[in-house]
Amino acid sequence: MSKTIIELQHIYKKYGDFTALNDINFKLNQGEFYTLLGPSGCGKTTILQTIAGFTDATSGQVLFDGQKINDIPASKRQLNTVFQDYALFPNMNVHDNVAFGLVLHKVKKAEIEERVHDALKLVQLDQYANREIAELSGGQKQRIAIARAIVNRPKVLLLDEPLSALDAKLRKDMQYELRSLQQNLGITFLFVTHDQEEALAMSDQIFVMNKGQILQKGDPVDIYDEPINHFVADFIGESNIIPGHMIQDYEVSFLGHTFECADAGMRPNEPVEVVIRPEDLVITTPEKGKLQVKVSTQLFRGDYYEILAYDNQDNEWLIHSTNATKDNAVIGLTFGPNDMHVMRYNETEAKFNSRLETYEE
């Protein structure tokens, strides 16, 4: 098991009556890529700022390498932050921006030159040392901000929506670059985004947040396939979420039919919600379908059609299909036991008990 480098224990942050962070607990291991994912205002930046030392928690402990660091100033913490707006110094060239922290720490000139060169090489901008910041593209500025952070050789890099200012294509390229940079450097990344695709693509572990709490922690496949509640299922990718009830282990009922499923451990008759991802539904004839739905509209998405349909109880169904269908057509849908994920209904509002994190190994 890798070593824990950062640990948050019972972190609360209050602004007057408003609770921005509500009992945050987690551990970050050395060398892994973690993402805080959640909607705007859920507290992601506040967590980064608490770890970085730019804001004080109202209560709770921040540990770095096993030592409490709540009272250690930001500049003395062995971590660096990459901000959304890059925060580069516009009046200094690329070299001086990257060298800034080293000069401040009075590192010897020869070492500064070597480390700046290495950092720029890592972000593939070693030819740009003498460029002015104004002469760089958005993606290049982003890389310089990363070079400036990694030149200090931090054990942990905090990244606050670092790709949000980039266009879609560049953003994708940078996702690959950041991921491989993290793997090459072997340092811990804590990355903030509200973009679920970005989180799924890049992370070893994701913390899904809402309203100042961590609702679920897991690797991207777990989070996608086994969302703990309605919020997570809805937030992570597109899903059909249908109310129903459990008959017994491995048997669930919804829309008046009983289906074999892969879930167990709930009470007979317990109200549940069933999640089926749009790409797991297969269109067939109405007679062969396990369910019948009526097509409302469809959109061509390039490599698939996104079809919107309704069942006879007016539940909305989203279906991804490589074949087009016709508006107003009645179609059949099939799906297997493993294409359904059954969630307890009363967990809809429940949160992942992040307190358990503290004791988890």
Ligand X SMILES: Nc1ncnc2c1ncn2[C@@H]1O[C@H](COP(=O)(O)OP(=O)(O)OP(=O)(O)O)[C@@H](O)[C@H]1O
Interface residues with ligand X (CB under 6 A) are 15, 18, 20, 38, 40-46, 194
Q: What is the torsional sign of CA 259, 263, 265, 267?
A: negative
| Smallest distance from ligand X to CB 194, Å | 5
Whether residue 95 contacts residue 148, with contact meaning beta carbons closer than 8 Å, is answered with no
**Distance between CA atoms of residues 245 and 77, nearest Å:** 51
- Which is nearer to ligand X, 207 or 317 (by Cβ)? 207
- Which is nearer to ligand X, 209 or 333 (by Cβ)? 209
- Which is nearer to ligand X, 215 or 276 (by Cβ)? 215
Residue 5 host element (H or E): strand 4-15
- Which is nearer to ligand X, 42 or 144 (by Cβ)? 42
| Smallest distance from ligand X to CB 208, Å | 12
**Distance between CA atoms of residues 150 and 187, nearest Å:** 9
**Distance between CA atoms of residues 180 and 33, nearest Å:** 11
**Distance between CA atoms of residues 59 and 72, nearest Å:** 15
- Which is nearer to ligand X, 38 or 227 (by Cβ)? 38
| Smallest distance from ligand X to CB 18, Å | 6
Structure tokens at 38: 């959640």
| Smallest distance from ligand X to CB 16, Å | 7
Bridge partners for 300 per DSSP: 305
Whether residue 242 contacts residue 274, with contact meaning beta carbons closer than 8 Å, is answered with yes
Whether residue 290 contacts residue 317, with contact meaning beta carbons closer than 8 Å, is answered with no
- Which is nearer to ligand X, 112 or 209 (by Cβ)? 209
**Distance between CA atoms of residues 279 and 306, nearest Å:** 9
| Smallest distance from ligand X to CB 232, Å | 16
Query: What is the distance in angstroms between the CA of the first residue and the CA of the last residue of the chain?
Result: 9
- Which is nearer to ligand X, 28 or 242 (by Cβ)? 28
Kindly state the greatest CA–CA separation across the chain. 78
| Smallest distance from ligand X to CB 11, Å | 12
Question: Cα dist. 336→48, 225, 254, 276, 325 in Å?
Answer: 41, 14, 14, 10, 22
- Which is nearer to ligand X, 16 or 265 (by Cβ)? 16
| Smallest distance from ligand X to CB 21, Å | 8
Q: Which residue is nearest to ligand X (CB)?
A: 45
- Which is nearer to ligand X, 42 or 319 (by Cβ)? 42
| Smallest distance from ligand X to CB 23, Å | 15
| Smallest distance from ligand X to CB 235, Å | 13
Considering only CA atoms, which of 62, 303, 33, 53 is closest in space to residue 177?
33
Whether residue 59 contacts residue 19, with contact meaning beta carbons closer than 8 Å, is answered with no
**Distance between CA atoms of residues 163 and 86, nearest Å:** 10
